[in-house]
Amino acid sequence: MQRSDDRVVVVGAGPVGAVMALALVKKGIPVTLLEAEADAVEDQRAATVHPPTVEMLAELGLKDAAFSEEPSGGLQSPIFHFRDRITGELVAVFDVSVLNGDVPYPFVLQWEQYKLVRAALPLITASGIGEIRFSTRLTDLKQGADSVTLTVKNKDGESETLQAKYVIGTDGAWSLVRQRAEIEFEGFTWPERFIKIGTTFDFLSTGRGYCTRNYFSDPDEWLNLFKVKGNGGAGIWRGIFPVPADEPRETAMSVEGVQRRLQGLFPKPGDYDISYHAIYDVHQRVAATFNKGRVLLAGDSAHVNNPIGGMGMNGGIHDAMNLASKLSDIWFDGADVGILDRYSRQRRKAQIDFVQAQSIQNKKSLEEKDPASRRRNLDHLRRVSEDVALHKQFLMRSSLFDSLRSANAVE
């Protein structure tokens, strides 16, 4: 079966793929969004939406869904803490609301990525120029002078051929789009893995003064602890812990291993209720280019980083908004396709100079083992948090405002 479409095909319906497709149809560009799974996946990964990304989602018509009081909406979290897990000391408090008047949305939104996807998909379909195909797995692609030919396996298990003017890979770290385009994925993999544990236990009830976003410094077992709404009730707390390279996966994922980590954070009678837990390898990688001919990359297909600081999904959404604008200029205004090279230059700079550098530094600071260096790091954070000007500078960088400004200035 042969289909020939004057459209863009986006491969992968995660949060970046969904936003990519929505941004394109908002520009008036016809899109087919392909997803190998049978439906939108309830993936418990990214949840932090930084202020500039909140602004982008509002621009796409997702504000009501994002701010809904229902479980499908997000949790506004303007404050985050840095703590010394060894002493229990609250080292620094940062409050994004100090940017009120400077930015439209002075808070972080804790909105699970699968909820974002579920909010975006109906808007893509309602556009009248957006098609979503689940149970459709990419198996190959080949570029021509004027189009890209994709081979997919559809829900009936049959091979099918599609054509598109451009293909955008948003199909994750193991992107087949990137592989078929023969684009190198440069960087490294951390020796340790991370484990994410979700529990319904309310850490606000512990009397320890926690907020809904907490970073714990610890040379042996650092920790991130955030709250999300979950699917109702009192919400879910997510703990992210390191798993040493010599700890077997089975040990970390066992009931005993999961309970040990949570009891180590806050000892309590009885076991913690566990909503979910998963272990994963952690990479710091950036594609050698984000464009090659008519094949383009965004999100995890183009870059991956450790999750400390919540920058991965945000950077991918920034990719999508940048790329949609440039494709619109080509599609409707006859702009030179060379602006796609500029897309690659801009978004690679955002990743390499900001997201990769910041997320690596975040991890190193939290796990610092030298006592003198740990003390200097913690004292520095405290001084920054207590000085209004430095406080704002820290937030502008950690919330990716600086990344956007610097990248968008690249010619």
Query: Average pLDDT per run of 10 along the chain, which is 411 residues long?
Result: 72 98 98 94 89 98 97 96 96 97 96 97 98 97 94 93 97 97 96 96 96 96 96 92 96 97 97 96 96 97 93 96 98 96 97 92 94 96 97 96 94 92
pLDDT score, position 41: 84
DSSP, residue by residue, 61-120: T-HHHHT-SSTTS-EEE-EEEEEETTT--EEEEEEGGGGBTTBS--SEEE--HHHHHHHH
Continuous segment of H or E residues that includes residue 407? helix 401-408
- Check: CB of residue 114 under 8 Å from CB of residue 134: no
Q: Which two three-digit tokens encode residue 124? A: 């893509």
Strands 295-297 and 303-304: unpaired
What pLDDT digit, counting tens, does each position of 99-143 carry?
999 999 999 999 999 999 999 999 999 999 999 999 999 999 999
What pLDDT digit, counting tens, does each position of 208-224 carry?
999 999 999 999 999 99
Structural domains in the chain, CATH included, are: 2-78+103-187+285-408 (3.50.50.60), 193-283 (3.30.9.10)
